[in-house]
Amino acid sequence: EAQVTQNPRYLITVTGKKLTVTCSQNMNHEYMSWYRQDPGLGLRQIYYSMNVEVTDKGDVPEGYKVSRKEKRNFPLILESPSPNQTSLYFCASTDTGANVLTFGAGSRLTVL
């Protein structure tokens, strides 16, 4: 089944403890992106990647890092999480010709 898989789905952590949210897609998509969803703010793009080793900042990149060493994986790294990063995170991917995002199931992160 074509899908975007995120892990973990739920995580509670404490301020400053590094964490990684993994994202993997099995559709051979070139483009991948991370969004965060907050009440009243909709979805805001954190980082995106056009292909392997090509990443760029979205609208809210502060406090996050990403890497794209393989086409299928696009992990989101929070080096020193803070409470304002408590949010629902979505990974998405698309074929560059299709321009329609496929979303993962979401990862709900709480930073205490």
Partner 1 sequence: AQSVSQHNHHVILSEAASLELGCNYSYGGTVNLFWYVQYPGQHLQLLLKYFSGDPLVKGIKGFEAEFIKSKFSFNLRKPSVQWSDTAEYFCAANTGFQKLVFGTGTRLLVSP
Kindly tell me which of 62 and 100 has the beta carbon lying closer to partner 1: 100
Task: Give the Cα separation of 93 and 100 in Å (integer).
Answer: 8
Angle at 41 between CA 45 and CA 26, to 5 degrees: 35
Question: Using the rule CB under 8 A, which residue among 44, 65, 71, 72 binds partner 1?
Answer: 44
Of residues 49 through 68, those in contact with partner 1 by CB under 8 A are 50, 56
DSSP calls for 38-58: ETTTEEEEEEEEEETTEEEE-
Contacts with partner 1 by CB under 8 A lie at 31, 33, 35, 40-45, 48, 50, 56, 90, 92, 94, 96, 99-101, 103-106
